[in-house]
Amino acid sequence: MTTSQKQRILVVDDDKQIARLVREYLEKAGYFVLVAYDGETAVSTLRREDFDLLVLDLGLPDMDGWDITRMIRADHRLSTLPIIMLTARIDDSEKIIGLELGADDYIPKPFNAREVVARVRALLRRVNMDAPTRSKILRVDELALDIDRRELTASGQAIELTPTEYELMHTFMSHPNTTFDREELLERALGYAYEGMSRTLDTHIKNLRQKIEIDPKRPLIIQTVHRVGYRMVGERR
């Protein structure tokens, strides 16, 4: 399974040892995991990228986990994000407050990291079972990518993609305005990367530009980030 196909989890905890332990166990269980150590970074990451689940510590140094939960539930794009709350607090009334604000599960500290993995699996399984059976479509400006059908359209016009081009577009459109280095793009598109493959990636990017850019020689959508890689510029809709 490529990185882009793994379910994505954001772990937020100011205790770096706990955060890294949870990340390690979740990665071993097959998930793609990012970590934030404060509320501001967590909110910024949630608004920039897509996740399948959030593991959130209630007691953060700069922002209360309850406030983050309120923000998520009030945001149209994030409102259905599953949340598992971690806390050293054991008062039942505080647990009820978290659940009433929209947390889906609640794990008191100290905890066994295996329990977190089990709770994550159970919650994601439940969410997937309850999810409506409709096509998921990613939209960035005039581009629309139908995930189920693996079809791309630009202003309603169908664009044929090779499997590698599809994986690249899926990565770019899932994370617009995010810069990816060449190695990460190769890993996401092909499932592997090794020295000497940069020119292969550049060729795929060139082909994509031919298909979606008004002027492929002066690309406005898929831009080169000098000495780093590429990014797609646009707004999610």
State the Cα torsion 36-11-78-122 to the nearest 10°. Answer: 180
What tokens appear for 93 in the block? 């009334």
Distance of CA 98 to the CA centre of its chain: 23
d(CA 92, CA 95): 5
What tokens appear for 188 in the block? 């996401």
> Beta partners for 36?
12
Is the pLDDT at 4 greater than 70? The verdict is no
Is the pLDDT at 65 greater than 60? The verdict is yes
What domains, with CATH codes, occur in the chain?
A: 3-130 (3.40.50.2300), 137-232 (1.10.10.10)
pLDDT value for 42: 94
Provide the 3-class DSSP secondary structure of residue 116: helix
> 40 burial class (0-12, 13-18, 19+ CB within 10 angstroms)?
middle
Is the pLDDT at 105 greater than 90? The verdict is no
Model confidence band, residue 133 (pLDDT cutoffs 50, 70, 90): very low
pTM, entire model = 0.57
> Beta partners for 39?
none
